[in-house]
Structure 1
Amino acid sequence: MEESLEQLQARHRKEQRDLVSRITQKKKNATKKTRKGVNDECAELERQLRLRQEEELRIFHGQEEELLGAEEDEPAAEPPSTTDDISSQLASTTISSPPPTRPPSQQQPEPGKKRNRQKERLARRAAEVEAASERAALEASTMTDHRGGEKKRMEPIFSSNNLVEHEIAPDGHCLFSSFADGLASASIPLASSSSANIDTMPKVEPYKIVRRTAADYMLSHGDDFAGFLEEPLEEYARKIRDTAEWGGQLELSALANAYGVEIRVVQDGRTEVIVPSGEMGGEEGSEKEKKTVWLAYYRHGFGLGEHYNALRRKEVAT
């Protein structure tokens, strides 16, 4: 039994709801390491469903056009309208005629006048599109602005510490790019004492230098990091050094120690402080002024989810 347009559209909506449920469950079960792969898989599932449904609609409309062509070959009191002038006729009817008491699909044709089924289908589709747009607008108006909420709670900390935010691309390197920007703002060289040979390397992006520094420190202090990993330290360090693997708490700790700096991460209304391991208890009376790198951390509001932005002192912001 062939589906009507309403049945086809109802099935498509159900398939879309089912896919949303599957994607939601997949993303809830994703870990930090698998999140990118899960996002790619979900995008592919959405793409395949969209293409299949579009193809089914094209086939359905093609069959309807064949049936319409057969109907138009029959003698009628009035010649049917062509596809080219249907849109203008529909617009004219909507503007100049009084509102119908019943939907177009339910109106009875005038005696002696052939019913224009294609015109009725176009009217139904236009109404469905308008209704879908209204539902989408209503849903968008009720969605929580997570990123805006996080930013609002961070702004008092930015203001009290004379900081201004600098946007970093959400490309998987954001922690390392933000940290490199913070080093530059604090006038700290990218080449740490543990990676002095970087000065002899060809010109590279700053985040790559920061990645290599973090990986080298973790390898040279394996006892401090291996216990937190689910894979061999060497393999993990290779990914941190050579890929777009996300950085987190372990990398922040490695960078604080490698560069001898205090890292302050502003997140959702509070500030987390990471200090070099030798300064956990605090060093009072130090003659050397401690350098600080500030970062802003977001859980929501970016395409990849979690994200770091750089924070600069206002006097050095550009």
Structure 2
Amino acid sequence: MEETLEVIQARHRKEQRDLQSRITSKKKNATKKTRKGVNDECAALERDLKEHQQLELDALNRNKDVDEQEGEEEPNGTGHRTIEHEESTNSQNDTATDVNHITDRLKDAKVSFDLPPAKQPSSEPTAQTQEGSGGGKKRNRQKDRLARRAAEREMAAEAAEQEAQNMTDHRGIERTALERTFSANGLVEHEIQPDGHCLFSAVADQLAQRKIPISTTKEGDETQQPPYRVVRKVATAYMEEHADDFAPFLEELLESYVPKIRDTAEWGGQLELLALASAYRVEIKVVQNGRTETIRPGTESEIGGEGEDRTIWLAYYRHGYGLGEHYNSLRKKG
């Protein structure tokens, strides 16, 4: 039974919702290195789905026009259809071919649209009567093609679903390992906003918990700045003062690297953690997936304050956040 316009439109809306859900999932699981490729892939999938749906609507409209024309046509006395009707049929075939190409691209991308089951193309002739041939019947090739492609899409959807079930849940594995370490050390997680400043914001939160001043200078204007900005300045100031310890590990000149860390939302990493441990004279423990890394001050610095709690805890995520790597602060329970 041929789908009506309302049925097709309802199916199109569901396909769009399903695709949007899958795109959201892809973007959440993307890392910093794969984000551009994932965005390009998602844009291509949205474009292909839009073209595919438009072609289906065009095919439906042309099919209706053909039915109306067939009801009005009269045999021309030669047993053949008119030239206008043949041109309309060719247009339908061209449209069906375009639908096939778009559908193949969607199938290769393994996108699930959760389409309703489609009947397999039948080898029996359709009920359409061939005009001018004495009441004989002919197959509707366009409907056969659409039915065959619908069946192929359904098979591709099932394959994609099976593939998703077999994929490793990196996010779940990471979360389980982190929570095990949190529990063993009596820690609770304090969420930090994933805005590019997360490492410095998490360090600032940890210093505040231990009542360690975040500013290492006596400049009064620093107290008016966001805590993460002050921590960024402390890290870069220490790196400039100890350039020989940091410059060899950079892929660019220290003179250009320092302003990016100090004045922008550039992500911090291992070098910044070492600079902060040395500048604040603290021990930094970073809980990761399955292990805990300890970062101690450099050789010229010692952990300050005998008897004080000078160990700060951070949680490092590689898969848990859609924007990529992320740090949270870990506070002591109670």
TM-score range, shorter chain: 0.5 to 0.7
Verify: 1:293 aligned to 2:312, yes or no.
yes
Q: Deviation of residue 155 (structure 1)?
A: 3.0
Q: Deviation of residue 108 (structure 1)?
A: 3.4
Q: The residue matched to 1:293 in structure 2 has which SS? A: strand
Counterpart for residue 204 of structure 1 = 225
Q: Deviation of residue 270 (structure 1)?
A: 2.0
Q: Deviation of residue 313 (structure 1)?
A: 0.5
Deviations 1:67-87 (Å, cap 9, x if unpaired)? 42442133359xxxxxxxxxx
Verify: 1:136 aligned to 2:160, yes or no.
yes
Q: Deviation of residue 217 (structure 1)?
A: 1.4
Distance (Å, rounded) in 1 between the aligned partners of 2:128 and 2:257: 79
Tell me, yes or no, if the aligned pair for 1:178 and 1:309 is still in contact at 8 Å: yes
AA at the equivalent of 1:302? Y
Counterpart for residue 52 of structure 2 = 57
Counterpart selection for 2:206 from 157, 177, 182 = 182
Q: The residue matched to 1:214 in structure 2 has which SS? A: helix
Tell me, yes or no, if the aligned pair for 2:174 and 2:320 is still in contact at 8 Å: no
Deviations 1:204-249 (Å, cap 9, x if unpaired)? 3322221121112111221221111121112111111122222111
Verify: 1:269 aligned to 2:290, yes or no.
yes
Distance (Å, rounded) in 1 between the aligned partners of 2:218 and 2:139: 83
Which ranges in structure 1 are unaligned for 5 or more consecutive residues?
Answer: 1-26, 28-34, 78-94
Instruction: Give matches, 1:93-108, under 5 Å.
Output: 103-104=120-121, 106-108=123-125
Q: The residue matched to 2:248 in structure 1 has which SS? A: helix
Tell me, yes or no, if the aligned pair for 2:282 and 2:303 is still in contact at 8 Å: no
Deviations 1:178-210 (Å, cap 9, x if unpaired)? 21222222222222x2x432x424633322221
Deviations 1:68-116 (Å, cap 9, x if unpaired)? 2442133359xxxxxxxxxxxxxxxxx9xxx99x625545334868977
Distance (Å, rounded) in 2 between the aligned partners of 1:55 and 1:156: 45
Distance (Å, rounded) in 2 between the aligned partners of 1:311 and 1:72: 70
Which ranges in structure 2 are unaligned for 5 or more consecutive residues?
Answer: 1-29, 73-115, 130-136
Counterpart for residue 307 of structure 1 = 326
Instruction: Choose 1 or 2 for highest CA Rg.
Output: 2
Verify: 1:247 aligned to 2:242, yes or no.
no
AA at the equivalent of 1:308? Y
Deviations 1:274-300 (Å, cap 9, x if unpaired)? 1112478x879x734241110112232
Distance 1:150 1:279, change over 3 A: farther
Tell me, yes or no, if the aligned pair for 1:264 and 1:295 is still in contact at 8 Å: yes
Verify: 1:159 aligned to 2:183, yes or no.
yes
Deviations 1:253-274 (Å, cap 9, x if unpaired)? 1111111111011122222111
Q: The residue matched to 1:196 in structure 2 has which SS? A: coil
Distance 1:60 1:288, change over 3 A: same
Q: The residue matched to 1:245 in structure 2 has which SS? A: coil
Counterpart for residue 37 of structure 2 = 42
TM-score when scaled to structure 2? 0.63
Distance 1:283 1:231, change over 3 A: closer
Counterpart for residue 251 of structure 2 = 230
Identity fraction in percent: 51
AA at the equivalent of 2:249? F
AA at the equivalent of 2:228? Y
